[in-house]
Amino acid sequence: MPSTASSTSLSSTILSKAAILAKLDTDKRRAFIEGLSEDEKLYLPHNWRFWARPQQLSPEQFETWLILAGRGFGKTRAGAEWVREKAKEGCERIALVAATAADARDVMVQGESGIIAVSWEHDRDINGDHMGIPVYEPSKRRIIWANGAQAVLYSAEEPDRLRGPQHDAAWADEVCAWQYARDTWDMLQFGLRLGIVPQCCVTTTPKPMALLRDIMRDEGTVISGGSTYDNAANLAKPFMRSITKKYEGTRLGRQELHAEILDDMQGALWQREWFDTARRKPGTIVDLVRVVVAIDPTGSRGGDATGIVVVGLGVDGRAYVLADYSCNLSPSGWGKRAVEAYRRFEADRIVAEVNFGGEMVEATIHTIDPSVPYKAVHASRGKVVRAEPVAALYEQGRVSHVGNLDELEDQCCLMSGNGFEGEGSPDRVDALVWAITELMLGENDDRDNWEMVQVGNGAFDWRRKGSTPQPVAPSMNMRADTDVHGRELSERGDDVARIKQALVGSAFHVVEDPHSIQAIVADMLAGRRRINDV
């Protein structure tokens, strides 16, 4: 079991040495300062162990140090200072992994609490060599110190960039916001193989995701953390007042402020594992026969957004949720967003609920582009009644989200039989429900024409009744994990059924691969690839 190095009580156990010093009387503070050498006085403003709270300091021994904390806790500062320390200790190749390339640059490297900001021009490593402030080289996606240590920037949007490079340390920021969290984490771990004990620092606000739970359960993990309130002295008072008023005592506040990992809400119509199990990567889905953009215009003058969700119907009878364009904009603004989504995804039509918008919704869309096909839908039943059959499709595994759609998924998991348990209106969910209803329910309901069949090794998929079985790898496009099998079959290459059998019957694991099994087989028969090259 992982160990824990955290405390959230407001006592001296969470105060920095600087804060403790500030509480002393004037004579004791003066005595402390006078007891320092000139070099120590010069270094004091840059001495992280003086300014950090105990939960922001790394434990002595660990493989993964997980800082699981609320917003504003000081996670970024702790991660940046840890990287600075690793560069001092002699680590030469450090990985910096964020949700996006922009986050890696703007937060981890160039942010107010990023690596460049926390570095000191007179920094030296353990050998006494000058390090100074690292230089950022955008074209090479790296920062480099004067002693030769370097940290390379990676994005969780491109897990394969981590395939190959080796590192002796890594800082993984906001893992719960990573688009391809599992793939990125796995690739990062494969490359953490330099040095005696390669280490990884993870800084994140929690979400109930399987990867985070796996990291927490790992015996090499040490967990630190706390709440937003632990760092209140360093946060703007208006910010603290605002978030306390808005989120304290709410489910979202428990997660974002107090860093609680919230399990699925009892009675929720959707479960998070349904999204993760069926999730697909962009470029890996089947051909689409229809695409719709659904709009749920806001019916209030408050902060509710206009829900705009894009969903496609695949040739395999499944729904693919392609994008969430929801926004807090004027009618003209959300109209432009909807038309932009319509054009980008080459949709067949825009569908909109008109209970709160009436003819205004159609007029808004056609003012922007008169050629857009439009269909008005009326809500004659309550939100829960409309959502239940859509949630049932998710439970059956007939809906896949393409990439991560965090805000939409969060709203889905707050829908229960009693209604929406979150704040405001479930605008994104409403738009999602209208889109999937348009494609798969009502007059387009053909669920009776599909059946679930086993496609190998315990995996199941949907097939139109009476059609020829087409083996399809489960989840995010899988491949066989065996070279020898693949090499033998590709060399013989004369038995399509045997190749498919080997692929489907072998153990599968997630990889980034835009090809279906059928495409892989075709390529193998054409001599273009081997299974183990996929």
3-class SS letters over 264-321? CCCCECCCHHHHHHHCECCCCCCCEEEEEEEEECCCCCCCCCEEEEEEEEECCCCEEE
- What pLDDT is stored for residue 360 in this prediction? 86
Give the least confident one: 113-117, 278-282, 285-289: 278-282
Winning range, highest mean pLDDT, from 157-161, 444-448, 514-518: 157-161
Over residues 419-445, the mean pLDDT reads 85
Taking the domain 272-445, which CATH number applies?
A: 3.30.420.240
pLDDT digits (tens, 9 = 90+) for 41-53: 999 999 999 999 9
pLDDT the model gives residue 461: 57
Of 3.40.50.620, 3.40.50.300, 3.30.70.270, 3.40.228.10, which CATH number belongs to 63-256?
A: 3.40.50.300
Q: Which stretches of 192-293 are DSSP H helices? A: 210-217, 237-247, 251-256, 272-278
Residue 78: per-residue pLDDT: 96
Mean pLDDT is highest, among 100-104, 175-179, 417-421, 519-523, for: 100-104
Pairwise pLDDT comparison (54 vs 499), residue with the higher score: 54
- Map residue 376 onto helix, strand or coil: strand
Cα separation of 334 and 529, whole Å? 46
Q: Is the pLDDT of residue 478 over 60?
A: no
CA atoms of 157 and 98, how far apart (whole Å): 9
| Position 488 confidence tier, pLDDT thresholds 50, 70, 90 | very low
Pick the more confident residue, 514 or 179.
Answer: 179
- Given a contact cutoff of 8 angstroms between Cβ atoms, the answer to whether 250 and 392 are in contact is no
Q: What is the pLDDT of residues 174-206, one digit of tens each?
A: 998 898 888 899 999 999 999 888 999 999 998
Secondary structure (DSSP) of 460-500? EEEEETTSPP----SSS-EEE--HHHHHHHHHH---HHHHH
Question: Does the pLDDT of residue 240 top 50, yes or no?
Answer: yes
Per-residue pLDDT, 11: 37
Q: How far apart are CA 163 and CA 20, in angstroms?
A: 45
Decide which of 520 and 478 is more confident: 520
Look at residue 368 in the predicted model and tell me its pLDDT: 95
pLDDT top residue among 249 and 341: 341
- Per-residue pLDDT, averaged over 224-243, amounts to 88
What pLDDT, on the 0 to 100 scale, is given for residue 50?
92
Q: pLDDT grade, residue 320 (50/70/90)? A: very high
Question: Does the structure show a pLDDT above 50 at 496?
Answer: no
Parallel, antiparallel or unpaired: strands 199-204 and 64-69: parallel
Q: What is the mean pLDDT of residues 381-390?
A: 87
User: Over the stretch 128-157, which tens digit does the pLDDT of each residue have?
Assistant: 999 999 999 999 999 999 999 999 999 999
The Cβ of residue 472 has, within 10 Å, a number of other Cβ atoms equal to 21
pLDDT for 354 equals 81
Give me the mean pLDDT over the 227-255 stretch.
84
* Least confident segment among 25-29, 171-175, 243-247: 243-247
Distances (CA, A) of 386 to 45, 309, 323, 391: 59, 16, 21, 9
What is the structure's pLDDT at 295?
95
* Residue 86 pLDDT level (bands cut at 50, 70, 90): very high
**Separation of alpha carbons 227 and 260, rounded Å:** 9
**365 has pLDDT over 60:** yes
Task: Name the one residue in this structure whose structure tokens are 């005696």.
Answer: 196
User: Going edge to edge, which strands form the sheet with 288-296?
Assistant: 374-377, 349-353, 288-296, 307-314, 319-324, 399-401
> Domain residue spans in the chain?
8-51, 63-256, 272-445, 450-533
Lowest mean pLDDT among 228-237, 298-307, 439-448, 471-480: 471-480
Which residue did the predictor score with more confidence, 449 or 79?
79
Confidence of residue 444 (pLDDT cuts 50, 70, 90): low
Q: Mean pLDDT, to the nearest integer, of 343-364?
A: 86
Q: Does 12 have pLDDT greater than 80?
A: no
pLDDT band at 509 (very low <50, low <70, confident <90, very high): very low
Tokens, residue 307: 């829900």
Rg of the chain over all Cα atoms, to the nearest angstrom: 27
User: What is the pLDDT confidence band of residue 500, given thresholds at 50, 70 and 90?
Assistant: very low
Average pLDDT over residues 248-276: 81
Lowest-pLDDT range of 281-290, 326-335, 512-521: 512-521
Task: Specify the higher pLDDT residue, 451 or 328.
Answer: 328
pLDDT surpassing 70 at residue 169: yes
Mean pLDDT of the chain: 81
φ/ψ of residue 354, rounded to 5: -115, 10
